[in-house]
Amino acid sequence: MGMDKTIERKKGIRLKHVIWGLGILLILFLMFKLIKSGQVSVFRAEADKLTISTVEENVFNDYITVNGQVEPISTIYLDAAEGGRVEERLIEEGAMVQKGDVILRLENRQLYQTILDSEAALAEKENYLRSTRINFETELIESRRSILDSQYKLTRKKRTFEQYQTLFDQGLISKEEYLQSKEDYEYEVNLLKINKIKSANDSLLRVTSMITLDSDLKKMRQMLQLVHERLDNLNVKAPVDGQLGMLDAEIGQSIGSGQRIGQINVLTSFKINAQIDEHYIDRVQRSLPASFDRNGTEIGLTVKKVYPEVREGQFKIDMVFNGASPENLRTGQTYNIKLELGASEKAIMIPRGGFFQSTGGQWIFVLNEAGTEAVKRQIRIGKQNPQYYEVLEGLQAGEKVITSGYELFGDNDKIILK
């Protein structure tokens, strides 16, 4: 009979110990996070160094202010229709010009040579046409003379044939003589027909050739006229009445055909050009009202054109005056323009401030009733103008908020005011 064997308990760390340890660590971590989340980070600040604003419920004016620059109502560019060397500069920049005034005179010796060649070719063509007409007249006379000669010979041959036919019928001449007279007569008949056909063909050829020559001569005269017009283009003239705003051409300078050399500002009226931040590109459109103050008088404007291109974060608009342009306006003057983007309406709003740069308008510090502390609150900003933000959610009229910059606050959730 065997004896019972005693089983010794294993010593050391076993799997259940590891599981219990991990569970305890997890519980401790969760407790730490719970305690941590219950704590609020606090920043202490002096109230007199902050900008504290009151939330208002008032009429929100939907507008922006932009810098506008006075420009002529239109600008006409001067491009050289013909290239050449600047020989004379008759009008200087800033001078008033009238339509047709010569601003520059250019010189183009190659064009002069082209004109001489065209005139020589035209003279040669005219001489050729003159000689051709003389030849045609000579040929016409010769053709008529040939027909007249054939008719004369035919008359004589016909008379001879008729006489020989009578004599042959009476037996007074031989048959050979009769046949010769008959053949001579028939030959002259056919020859007259041929001469008439030749005359008709020659006449048709003469008419066709003359029409072609006249057409060629007319084209050459037109070409010469165009070349003379090119010569007139060497005088750069003002296309409209206005002010010569810029002239990029000096004596002796070579100007290429089509090169831009200046511009004329039409001063019958003015417009105002402004650059606007691309943030507003979907809201700015034609016919929006605008205004600016000039010597205590409000001047009304209307958006005339919105340019689609965005460059360096801005796009351009043109505004025209609602009436006659004010007196003594000068190109290049700048004004602070108030551009209305929509109708005014009642809204909750707060003054603009540096807080927006830190929060993007997503949250703000709101003070308690005692004004001793401020805590974060989520908000939603709508429209904005140079003075106020429209608040769509998160604030009520009468509450106080910190609108100055939040750079010193860090990630703190509460501000204690001293």
**185 and 121 part of one domain:** yes
- Residue 55 included in any domain: yes
Give the CA dihedral 28, 31, 32, 37, nearest 10 degrees.
160
Among 209, 232, 255, the domain boundary falls at 232
**223 and 145 part of one domain:** yes
Residue 28, by phi and psi: left (phi above 0), alpha (psi -120 to 50) or beta? Answer: alpha
pLDDT of residue 349: 93
**125 and 44 part of one domain:** no
Tell me the pLDDT tens digit for each residue of 68-125.
Answer: 999 888 888 888 888 888 888 988 888 889 998 999 998 888 878 887 887 887 778 7
**56 and 131 part of one domain:** no
Show the domain range for 381.
39-61+345-417
Work out the burial of residue 78: count CB atoms within 10 Å of its CB; fewer than 13 is exposed, 13-18 middle, 19 or more buried: buried
Rounded to whole angstroms, the Cα distance separating 406 from 418 reads 17
Among 187, 203, 232, the domain boundary falls at 232
In the block, residue with structure tokens 């506008």? 68
- Residue 200 included in any domain: yes
**125 and 227 part of one domain:** yes
% of residues, the chain, pLDDT over 70: 93
**187 and 118 part of one domain:** yes
pLDDT of residue 380: 93
- Residue 27 included in any domain: no
**56 and 118 part of one domain:** no
User: Which of 90, 89, 85 has its CA nearest to residue 109?
Assistant: 85
pLDDT of residue 288: 92
pLDDT of residue 395: 92
- Residue 376 included in any domain: yes
User: Which of 251, 301, 259, 279 has its CA nearest to residue 78?
Assistant: 259
How many structural domains are present in the chain?
2
Residue 94, by phi and psi: left (phi above 0), alpha (psi -120 to 50) or beta? Answer: left
**50 and 134 part of one domain:** no
**45 and 126 part of one domain:** no
CATH of the domain at 394: 2.40.420.20
**119 and 228 part of one domain:** yes
- Residue 285 included in any domain: no
Question: In which element (H, E) is residue 396 found?
Answer: none
- Residue 298 included in any domain: no
Q: How confident is the model at residue 37 (pLDDT cuts 50, 70, 90)?
A: very low
Tell me the pLDDT tens digit for each residue of 136-176.
Answer: 888 888 888 888 988 988 899 889 888 988 888 888 888 88
**51 and 137 part of one domain:** no
**349 and 412 part of one domain:** yes
Q: SS in 3 state form for 226-285?
A: HHHHHHHCCEEECCCCEEEEEECCCCCCEECCCCEEEEEEEEEEEEEEEEEEHHHCCCCC
pLDDT of residue 417: 85
- Residue 303 included in any domain: no
Per-chain mean pLDDT for the chain: 85
In the block, residue with structure tokens 């045609």? 136
Q: How confident is the model at residue 38 (pLDDT cuts 50, 70, 90)?
A: very low
- Residue 85 included in any domain: no
Residue 257 identity (one-letter amino acid): S
Among 232, 255, 283, the domain boundary falls at 232
pLDDT above 90: residue 225: no
Tell me the pLDDT tens digit for each residue of 302-331.
Answer: 999 999 999 999 999 999 999 888 888 888
